[in-house]
Amino acid sequence: MSAPTSCVVTGGARGIGRAIAEAMVAEGHRVVITDLDGDGAQRTATEIGAVAGLAQDVRDAESHREVARVATEHGELTAWFNNAGVAFDDDLVDLSDDQVRASVEVNVLGVMFGTRAAIDAFGPGGGDVVITSSLSAHGPVPNLSVYAATKAAVLSLAMSVNLETPRRVRVHALCPDGVKTAMVEAMQGGKGEKLVRSGGPLLTVDEVARAAVDLVGSRRVVRTLPAWRAAAMKFSTLLPSQAGPALALFARQGARRTDDA
């Protein structure tokens, strides 16, 4: 019988994080869920059979070390999903100082601290860090500029740190298009909603979770879901001065889908 393995899922009380945690439990891992909502994390852990649900503010570097310590008590740590994130649907100039700061600290620093703690805590067999980035990391996203910038930062982080890691340690970034989550639903009526919905029906959390879990053990560093959207987004970075008309078209498509939803 093989030794037990553990994994960590941040932002795991609901949405994509919960679906990832549930999938990892089903595969036999001893899963530690963390969330700013500690009660929600504990409730989800109980409901899906995870070994622990912990309150965590990912902006606190030391909290990641403590989470890693808890995980290693349940088995060799082999996977860490940096999933916690926030999004504010507005132009840069309209966001408050606190919203800009929270975006950078949660979406970037939280991922950096988690990635570092995971690599330090992996055992001799190595492990995988999976970062929930976003399709928005690949190109301009007006009205979600701060969010897009933070997701581009962690996409870059994944590619760079993957080349720094010791043997048997892999770092991945998953870049999904719009996902049917509470965070996206909260954008209803906001400026960025039309672009989020422009790619067709929103992805389900289970689709994104399956893609995240499938990265574990693979050599693939970046995966975009769906793949065709990456090409469309990257095209806008080749001629950024000409991106406006294309993004306007996407926004009109998203508006129609919003009206039909």
Buried b (16+ CB within 10 A) or exposed e, 1-11: eeeebbbbbbb
Q: How far is CA 103 from the centre of its chain?
A: 13
The overall pTM is greater than 0.85: yes
The two structure tokens encoding residue 58 = 């990912």
Q: Which domains does the chain have, with CATH numbers?
A: 5-191+201-238 (3.40.50.720)
| Residues 230 and 138: beta-carbon distance below 8 Å | yes
Pairwise CA distance, residues 132 & 47, whole Å: 23
Report which secondary-structure segment, H or E, holds 81: strand 76-82
pLDDT, tens digit only, all 261 positions of the chain: 678 999 999 999 999 999 999 999 999 999 999 999 999 999 999 999 999 999 999 999 999 999 999 999 999 999 999 999 999 988 999 999 999 999 999 999 999 999 999 999 999 999 999 999 999 999 888 889 999 999 999 999 999 999 999 889 999 999 999 888 777 666 555 555 565 555 568 899 999 999 999 999 999 999 999 887 766 666 655 555 555 554 444 444 434 444 444
Pairwise CA distance, residues 225 & 155, whole Å: 14
Task: Provide the 3-class DSSP secondary structure of residue 50.
Answer: coil
* Backbone φ/ψ region at 217: left (φ over 0), alpha (ψ -120 to 50), beta: left
Taking the CA atoms of 145, 129, 106 and 28 in sequence, report the sign of the dihedral they define: positive
The residues assigned a catalytic role are 147
Pairwise CA distance, residues 253 & 198, whole Å: 5
